[in-house]
Amino acid sequence: MAVGIFDSGLGGLTVLDAAQKRLPDVDFLYFADSAHAPYGVRDSENIYELTRGAVNDLWNRGCDLVILACNTASAAALRRMQEEGVPEGKRVLGVFVPLIEALTERQWGDNSPPREVAVKHVALFATPATVSSRAFQRELAFRAIGVDVEAQSCGGVVDAIEDGDMILAEALVRSHVDALKRKMPEPQAAILGCTHYPLMAETFQQALGPDVQVFSQGDLVAESLADYLQRHPNMNGEARGGFLTTGKPRFVSDRATQFLRRQITFEAA
C-alpha cells in the first residue's frame, strides 16, 4: 500500500524525505515527470494536461491518495482537477494548504472571515508559472487581510538543480533575492514556493538575513499528511512503493541519490 507523490522532477523529493521521516510505516510511490521538467515555464493548459496524466497513472497503479508535491502543478491544475471530479475513492491534494495554515495560524477548515495576522510583508519565491497564476495570493486572501505579498519569479533555479549545477543554482538564488529586496527591502517572512527550493534553503536564508523567517514546505506537508491519514486511515491504496520517472532512469537515479544522499533507484514510468 502506498501514497502517491508527484512532481515535475526531483523537487518533490524534499517532501518525500520529510514524509518518510514523519511516517516511517507508510510506503510512497514517487512519480517524476522528468521528461517534461521544468513545469514552471509551461503554460497552464499544458501543465494541467501533464499533471492530470501523471495523477491518473498513479491512481491506476493503486494509489488512492496523490500529493502534488509541485507548487506549479498545485497552482495550475489542482483546483480544476477537483472541480472536474476525481474517481470514487480517490483524492488529490496540493502543497499550498499546509503552508497557508502555518502562515495564517488557522486550520484550512476554518471558514471564518479573513483576519489580521502577525506577518505583514511576505516574499514569495516561485517558478514563473506559479507567480503568474497568483494562486498563493488568492488562497491567502481568503484567510488573511493586510498581508503584502511580493512575488519573485526565479527563472533558471529549477533547471540548475535538476542538472546538478549547485554553484549556478546558488548564484541564481542570490540574484533573485537581490531583485526581491529591491521591491521589498524588509520582508518579515519568505515562502519557498517550489519544492526544489528547500535544497537551497541555506542560501535563501543567508541572502535574506537572519531576521527573515523562511517557510519551507517539506515538514509542513508531512505533518499535514500525517493528520490526514489519521483521519482517513483507508487512503493508503494498494500500490507498491518505489520511484518512477518519464526521463532516463539511470540519470534521474544518480541525481536523486545526490540530492537525498542515499541510494535511490528510479524505474521507467
User: Domain check: are 156 and 234 in the same one?
Assistant: no
Q: Tell me if residue 91 falls in helix, strand or coil.
A: strand
User: Domain check: are 89 and 152 in the same one?
Assistant: no
User: Domain check: are 185 and 124 in the same one?
Assistant: yes
The reported pLDDT for the residue numbered 109 is 66
User: Domain check: are 10 and 60 in the same one?
Assistant: yes
Task: Tell me how far apart the alpha carbons of residues 115 and 23 are, in angstroms, rounded to a whole number.
Answer: 33
Mean pLDDT by 10 residues, the chain (269 residues): 93 96 95 95 95 97 96 94 94 90 77 86 95 90 91 95 93 98 97 93 97 92 92 83 97 93 96
Number of domains in the chain: 2
pLDDT tens-place string over residues 79-101: 999 999 999 999 999 998 888 88
pTM of the model: 0.91
Task: Tell me how far apart the alpha carbons of residues 58 and 5 are, in angstroms, rounded to a whole number.
Answer: 9
CATH assignment of the domain containing 11: 3.40.50.1860
Range of the domain at 78: 2-94+218-268
Task: Tell me how far apart the alpha carbons of residues 145 and 166 are, in angstroms, rounded to a whole number.
Answer: 37
User: Domain check: are 15 and 31 in the same one?
Assistant: yes
User: Domain check: are 20 and 42 in the same one?
Assistant: yes
Domain boundary among 196, 216, 236: 216
The catalytic residue positions are 70, 194
